[in-house]
Chains A and B, each alone.
Chain A
């Protein structure tokens, strides 16, 4: 079976590393300037052969390298997990300033949470590498949002679960309580800073 990315993996890895290096460099500078970590951790991946094929098929797209690279935008994925909501927005601001990259899409699910309670900031960056266009999806969130998303992911792939409706409802309540904590901690942080 032919590689779903048509032999472009090395270039994709180079694009991914460029984004990571940019975030790391800015994180270091932010820490030197403020004494606070910009983010708690950073992770990245190239979407697996299997899930990319599954995604294209699910979207009714032909399973080709062209579609894997251009019709969907998350072949390259980067996740930034921050301590506080403000740090998420600061990282978003920095990514918008990254030279050679254009933000082509932004979704602020922190301000507009998904109905199930999902909160994160999503952006799609576009960049040229070896004269070809590549896009990467960046997900930014707080640790609380990350924990929630991990649990929701487990729920999504669990087929045999009783009382699903109740669990979903309780999970949504957790999302609201975690959001409340994130916002309260932001408020406390501001009060401390201003004191």
Chain B
């Protein structure tokens, strides 16, 4: 893995760098958040380890700015404090995990491995049902023809594709497509309409059915 490490304490920075490099990783070590932000923008990394309390720019600000730039790199932050609010702030700023100092280097390494594993699992690119193929990365939907989907359409369809064994309630789709937003059943129905027309336009042998209790399921239509 190529790891970006931001830590202002020289000794600790060196110990972590040596350990991770000994484990076969490449480490780019910087002493503050500002430099971490710059490096994250100019280089490609597989993961990021960031201290919270640092001079010039603290870890939480740097993390937030990195996320704002669209970077989804897995990130762990290190905190000296056992403060709950500190950890919440860090996670909300976009970190995936945290470690409280002092910590065991082996544990840091294990958490990095876990993040990498999870990122790999999430990188499912193609979902299929019948003659339908959805590339969740490019948003390309393919059956007899191909058509592009918007981000929300991709989220809704991949959610339906992931649960073909049962009907999805409108609230479940709202949680998936509009996380943390105030969306209603009307919005769900509009996007279901978008998807239904697109499925038809590419001759998919798959359709979205609405059950009586206003839940939705994706199912194959044999021999249209």
Tell me the A residues contacting B by CB distance below 8 Å.
110-113, 172-173, 176-177, 179-180, 183-184, 186-187, 190-191
Contacts and interface: CB of A to CB of B under 8 A. Distances in A.
A183 B197 contact: yes
Given A111-B203, A176-B140, A187 B194 contact: yes
B197 A186 contact: yes
Interface string B140-159: 10001111111000000000
B193 interface: yes
A194 to B, nearest CB: 10
A187 B193 contact: yes
B193 A111 contact: no
B146 A176 contact: yes
A172 B146 CA distance: 9
A172 B203 CA distance: 18
Given A111-B203, A191-B190, A179 B147 contact: yes
B163 to A, nearest CB: 23
Contacts of A112: 144-145, 203
A180 B140 CA distance: 10
A111 B143 CA distance: 11
Closest 5 CB pairs of A and B: A180-B148, A176-B148, A177-B148, A187-B197, A113-B145
Contacts of B140: 173, 176
B133 to A, nearest CB: 13
A37 to B, nearest CB: 22
A191 B191 CA distance: 11
Chief secondary structure at chain B's binding surface: mixed
24 contacts: A110-B201, A111-B144, A111-B203, A112-B145, A113-B145, A113-B146, A173-B140, A173-B148, A176-B140, A176-B146, A176-B148, A177-B148, A179-B145, A179-B148, A180-B148, A180-B150, A180-B198, A183-B194, A183-B201, A184-B150, A184-B198, A187-B193, A187-B197, A191-B193
Range of interface residues on chain B?
10 to 19
Nearest to A190: B193
Given A111-B145, A112-B144, A180-B148, 8 more contacts: A111-B144, A112-B145, A113-B145, A180-B149, A184-B150, A184-B198, A187-B194, A190-B193
Contacts of B201: 110-111, 179, 183
Contacts, number: 43
Contacts of A173: 140, 148
Contacts of B197: 183-184, 186-187
A179 B150 CA distance: 12
Contacts of A184: 150, 194, 197-198
A187 B196 CA distance: 9
Interface in B104-137: none
Nearest to B195: A187
A178 B98 CA distance: 44
Contacts of A191: 190, 193
Contacts of B147: 176, 179-180, 183
Contacts of A111: 144-145, 201, 203
A111 to B, nearest CB: 7
Contacts of B149: 180
Contacts of B146: 113, 172, 176
A79 to B, nearest CB: 22
Nearest to A114: B145
Interface in B62-110: none
B63 to A, nearest CB: 33
